[in-house]
């Protein structure tokens, strides 16, 4: 079982790395938002050459919601959903990097975990964007209860809870092995029959 000191060392390393990455948001955030929009447009163009969905910078620019998904519902009619690239991707990536780099495993395992984890997390971000293409245009504007359901689902998909939970799952999947769990929990004691 790990000592309190090793748990504290993990927590301190994680907080320092995550804090540094989160603090770099004003500098790195616009570059990540551009990367997120371009990779999303590339994905949607590959799937549908008719340009049904287009991702662009939000106008006017907003610090919290900087990315707009535009859906062409019918000729001359569009719908838009504006989201935060920080919540969708930058914050989960910072969380994942902090968790992987703070994990007390070999440097090689951390490097592979980081590579696989970032690939999985970016696929998740693209899946989140793709979900908006399903939910964005489906609801008829005169059905207020369906608009409420749609808004609730979109808020959940784009929300902080998902952005925090998924990186932790990916971290466990790419970094933690069975022997690590055994080392953390400690040896199992076999019961001896009387």
Task: Read off the pLDDT of residues 38-65 as tens digits, 9 standing for 90 and up.
Answer: 888 888 777 765 667 778 888 876 767 8
* DSSP strands (E only) in 18-122: 53-57, 67-74, 77-83
- Examine residue 114 and state whether it is found in any structural domain, yes or no: yes
pLDDT at 139: 47
Residue 186 has phi, psi (to 5 degrees) of 100, 170
- Examine residue 126 and state whether it is found in any structural domain, yes or no: yes
Angle at 98 between CA 57 and CA 130, to 5 degrees: 35
Q: Greater confidence, 105 or 2?
A: 105
Q: Greater confidence, 59 or 155?
A: 59
Tokens coding 44: 């949607």
Residue 15, pLDDT above cutoff 90? yes
Tokens coding 41: 């447009």
Q: Identify the top-confidence range among 16-20, 73-77, 145-149.
A: 16-20
- Examine residue 11 and state whether it is found in any structural domain, yes or no: yes
- Examine residue 41 and state whether it is found in any structural domain, yes or no: yes
Share of the chain above pLDDT 70, in %: 70
187 vs 172: CA distance, rounded Å: 20
Q: Whose CA is closest to 96, among 29, 170, 12?
A: 170
- Examine residue 71 and state whether it is found in any structural domain, yes or no: no
pTM of the predicted model as reported, rounded to 2 decimal places: 0.77
Q: Greater confidence, 191 or 16?
A: 16
pLDDT in tens, 74-109: 677 777 778 888 888 888 999 999 999 999 888 899
The residue range of the domain holding 126 is 4-47+84-183
- Examine residue 188 and state whether it is found in any structural domain, yes or no: no
- Examine residue 39 and state whether it is found in any structural domain, yes or no: yes
Structurally, the chain folds into a number of domains equal to 1
- Examine residue 42 and state whether it is found in any structural domain, yes or no: yes
Q: Alpha helices, DSSP H only, in 48-90?
A: 85
Measure CA of the first residue to CA of the last residue in the chain; give whole Å.
28
């Amino acid at each position: 079982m790990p000592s309190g000191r090793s748990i504290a060392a993990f927590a301190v390393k994680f907080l320092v790395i995550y804090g540094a990455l989160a603090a770099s948001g004003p500098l790195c955030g616009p570059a990540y938002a551009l990367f997120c929009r371009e990779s999303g447009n590339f994905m949607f163009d590959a799937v549908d050459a008719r340009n049904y969905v287009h991702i662009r910078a939000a106008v006017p620019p907003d610090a919290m919601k900087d990315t707009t998904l535009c859906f062409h519902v019918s000729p001359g009619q569009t719908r838009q959903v504006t989201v935060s690239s920080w919540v969708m991707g930058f914050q989960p990536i910072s969380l994942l990097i902090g968790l992987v780099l703070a994990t007390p495993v070999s440097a090689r395992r951390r490097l592979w975990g980081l590579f696989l984890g970032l690939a999985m997390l970016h696929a998740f971000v693209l899946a989140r964007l793709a979900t908006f293409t399903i939910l964005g245009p489906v609801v008829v504007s005169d059905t207020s209860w369906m608009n409420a359901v749609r808004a609730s689902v979109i808020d959940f998909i784009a929300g902080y809870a998902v952005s925090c939970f998924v990186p932790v799952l990916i971290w466990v999947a790419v970094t933690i092995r069975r022997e690590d769990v055994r080392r953390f929990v400690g040896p199992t004691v076999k019961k001896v029959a009387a």
